[in-house]
Amino acid sequence: MTPWDPSAEAGPPGQSVPGRVRIQTEPVTPIQPLPARNGNATKFARESVFEIRDMAVYYGDSQALGWTSLDVYEHLVTAVIGPSGCGKSTFIRSLNRMNDSISGFRIDGQVLYHGHDVYGAGVNRVEVRRRIGMVFQKPNPFPKSIYDNVAWAPRNLGMRDELDERVERALTQAALWDEVKDRLRDSALGLSGGQQQRLCIARAIAVEPDVLLLDEPASALDPIATASIEELMHTLKHRYTIVIVTHNMQQAARVADEVAFFSLDGTSRVGTLIEYADTQTIFRSPRDTRTRDYVTGQFG
Ligand code: ADP
């Protein structure tokens, strides 16, 4: 993966970004690594892929997410958990500007991706989404062939060289190649739900992203298909950085290295980051009683 070169991005400097309150145009000051927490220092040798600083999100007059600061580390699976409506989807969708088209959406603070402000002036949103791919809750293959689903984004982005190899590589990484190699021209809609979701992962992988955002990727699947998606995450994290929203705590415990627990803050009903730590800490010895109550099933 080549470093992201913001100078290659479209748009004149100082151009305003619709829906944004405050635009960071000054050079970003390098941020010092966070101190080791919970006695687990090894992961902090890792590079931060995202440095999220004081991020707040609004839909119209209503604040969905309070001031949130955290780092997401390379080649780890970071799970986002919390009760319904606490802003999990809002958070993950804000990492690759997927919320931009929502009327009334506003974001404040900074989302730095490898040090570059994702919401900075002149940033090319297509490039953001190529680098930071997303897979949704419900498998959503196009009504096209299996091959054309995977080839769709590379074709649109002009990545047409060795397309067959690219499609095969993406399907192999998504653990689907062996199941579909003899029917690449068949409709993707004929695949099972679990296969469709792995196809959507292959579709995201085909443009060589750096990050995969998975928004409840297994919640519409049966237990066997869910297990194959979870197994896939363990393999994919060696190549990609993964952020997953899940309402399933067993799943978070099985797949995640890091867990961010969000909840609704008291009477304001604003989604708030309560605790962020390695998976073992969150599930075995959380610092915050609200985390403990949630992971032990006493609330939410
Ligand atoms: P979660 O993923 O944790 O269930 P969401 O991020 O979907 O939470 O929602 C957080 C809050 O933002 C909720 O109050 C929800 O109603 C609100 N919200 C989410 N999407 C929209 C939207 N498109 N327009 C207005 N409000 C929204």
pLDDT tens, residue by residue, 115-130: 999 999 999 999 999 9
Choosing from 55, 84, 89, 214 the residue with most ligand 1 atoms within 8 A of its CB, the one to mutate for a pocket test is: 89
Q: Is 90 in the pocket of ligand 1 (CB under 6 A)?
A: yes
- Tens of pLDDT, residues 255-296: 999 999 999 977 878 999 999 999 999 999 999 999 999 999
Q: Is the pLDDT of residue 235 over 80?
A: yes
Compute the distance between CA of residue 208 and CA of residue 14 in angstroms, rounded to an integer.
30
- Mean pLDDT, the chain, as a whole number? 88
**pLDDT at 265 (0 to 100):** 79
Rounded CA gap, 57 and 64, in Å?
Answer: 6
Give the closest residue to 97 by CA, choosing from 55, 154, 60, 159: 55
Distance 91 CA to ligand 1 centre (A): 10
Q: Which ligand 1 atom is at minimum distance from the Cα of 271?
A: 10
Give the model's pLDDT for residue 300: 61
Domains observed in the chain: 39-137+210-295 (3.40.50.300)
Are 56 and 67 a contacting pair, CB within 8 Å? yes
What's the pLDDT at 68? 96
* CB-ligand 1 contact for 66 (6 Å cutoff): no
Structure tokens that stand for 124 in this block: 């090319």
Q: For 270, list phi and psi in degrees, rounded to 5.
A: -100, 135
For residue 165, give both structure tokens: 């190899």
CB-based contact 174:205 (threshold 8 Å): yes
CA of residue 252 to ligand 1 center, whole Å: 21
**Residue 102 beta carbon below 6 angstroms from any ligand 1 atom:** yes
Q: In this structure, which residue's CA is closest to atom 26 in ligand 1? A: 59
pLDDT surpassing 50 at residue 37:
no
The answer to whether residue 230 scores a pLDDT higher than 70 is: yes
Which residue is associated with the tokens 């190649």? 177
What is the edge-to-edge ordering of all strands in the sheet holding 48-59?
Answer: 116-117, 105-113, 48-59, 62-73, 270-278, 258-265, 77-81, 241-245, 211-215, 132-135
Give all strands (DSSP E) within 151-254, no chain letters.
211-215, 241-245
Is the pLDDT at 29 greater than 60? The verdict is no
pLDDT digits (tens, 9 = 90+) for 44-103: 678 999 999 999 999 999 999 999 999 999 999 999 999 999 999 999 999 999 999 999
| pLDDT band (50, 70, 90) for residue 24 | very low
What distance in angstroms lies between residue 112's CA and the mean position of ligand 1's atoms?
Answer: 22
CA 189 to chain centre: 25
